[in-house]
Amino acid sequence: FSYHAKKVIYLHLIIIFLICCTCTPEKSCSVLCDHVNMMDLPKEFPCEASSINLDKNSIKFLSERAFGTLPSLKTLSLNHNNISFITPGAFKGLPNLLELKLAHNEHIRYLHTRTFTAIKRLVRLDLSDCNLFNMPDRIFLEQISLKELLCFQNNFRHVPGAIRGMENLTHVYLERNKIEAVAYSTLLGLTNLKYLNLQENRINVIHDEAFKDLVHLENFYLNDNLLVDLPQQAFKGLRNLKMLNLGGNVLTNVSKTWFSDLVELEVLYLDRNRLSYIEEGTFENLTSLITLHLNSNNLTSLPFSVFQPIYFIGRLYLFRNPWECTCDLEWLREWMESYKLVRDIPCASPSSVAGLDLSEVVYAHLNGTCLDPPELNLTTSPPEESGEYQKGLNVSLVILWPSTLRMVLKIKSKCQRLRCSHALVSKVFTFITQVEV
């Protein structure tokens, strides 16, 4: 092309750029090219640009050195495009790039080892909601400054080995993938990691000491996986952990060795599992615990010895469990009344208190010994007994102490619905008359 022809083409490209994109007026400008149905990148960008937004276009391909030389560029966003291939060296010429956003490009299934070559100062990389199945182990060889890596909602079946040894990483987002196991070697060297999200995967195996190098981890999400059990020393060494979420798994018991090192833990989620047993001493080292979620499990009892060391807990969530409100839970009822920190603990049994909240149960005592609420044999009485039934129950109500009246009134209501026999009324009466004032 002649000089004149080249000048015309250049001016034509500038006009196209101006039609599609806008620039903020300051010298270190932000280039806004989002949502303009752009299929190809402009040939040139303002060399002083500090930020470029190309979100929500139809860009399919990034060639080598796709953005030319932009020494001032700090942020580049390519979210919500149709990118299917990134040529190795596509980001050459961007020596000071700190943040790169490539999220929501569902056609990205593969990344070359040299995809991010030359952007050595990168601090934050977003690859969320693409279609990645894996990443080369050496893909971040030059990204020694990387702190935040977002890779949630992809198709990873294991934690990418590419992050191993990246000691400057502080935040890793791997939720909503298809990860099945966490191997011993995967997270080695992540000594400054503070946030790790592995929720909503398919994790059913965690190797011994898989988390041993995460000594500065503060927030850890393992919820909504397929964990049936954990290694005895699963969280050994995580002395800075403040929040641990194990909710939504299939755990059936809790071992006292799991949390023995978590002296800074403030919030623990064990909800939505199948827990029926918590080992004595499980929480004894959790001296900083403020909130504990045990709701939506199969717990029937909660011995005082399990909770004694953390009697100062701030919030305790226990709803949606089949509680047996026997004398074993009397301590919990007293605690509820004293601290007002627990509520909504519906009783499943014994039948005389089934449907009541634990706070409504009145425990009878005989010679200083707590008496379990009785099991009621709720049989249907013949019609001729109904008058005798009503008379007997009313007599029992007359002599009740005020503190027990509320509970027995509920029993009366239940009996009236089910037409209890006179024998049942006598049983209730006998139990009530044993109550100490």
Question: Which of the residue ranges 33-37, 145-149, 226-230, 391-395 would you say has the lowest mean pLDDT?
Answer: 391-395
Please check whether residue 363 lies inside any domain of the structure: yes
Please check whether residue 11 lies inside any domain of the structure: no
Per-residue tokens: 171: 């935040």
**What is the pLDDT, as a whole number, of residue 304?**
86
For 344: left if phi > 0, alpha if psi spans -120 to 50, otherwise beta; the answer is left
Question: Tokens 């209890």 label which residue?
Answer: 420
Please check whether residue 119 lies inside any domain of the structure: yes
Please check whether residue 45 lies inside any domain of the structure: yes
Please check whether residue 14 lies inside any domain of the structure: no
User: What's the gap between Cα 157 and its chain centre?
Assistant: 19
Please check whether residue 93 lies inside any domain of the structure: yes
Q: With 0-12 CB in 10 A as exposed, 13-18 as middle and 19+ as buried, what is 338?
A: exposed
Q: How many CA atoms lie within 13 A of 417 on its CB side?
A: 5
Please check whether residue 95 lies inside any domain of the structure: yes
pTM score: 0.83
CA nearest to 435, candidates 348, 374, 346, 354: 374
User: Which range of residues forms the domain containing residue 423?
Assistant: 346-437
Q: What is the mean pLDDT of residues 102-127?
A: 97
Residue ending a domain, among 121, 155, 189, is 155
Angle between helices 402-418 and 422-432 (to 10 degrees): 170
Residue ending a domain, among 155, 189, 208, is 155
pLDDT at 94 over 70: yes
Question: Which of the residue ranges 73-77, 252-256, 388-392 would you say has the lowest mean pLDDT?
Answer: 388-392
Residues 154-191 pLDDT 10s: 999 999 999 999 999 999 999 999 999 999 999 999 99
Please check whether residue 225 lies inside any domain of the structure: no
Structural domain count of the chain: 2
Residue ending a domain, among 155, 175, 201, is 155
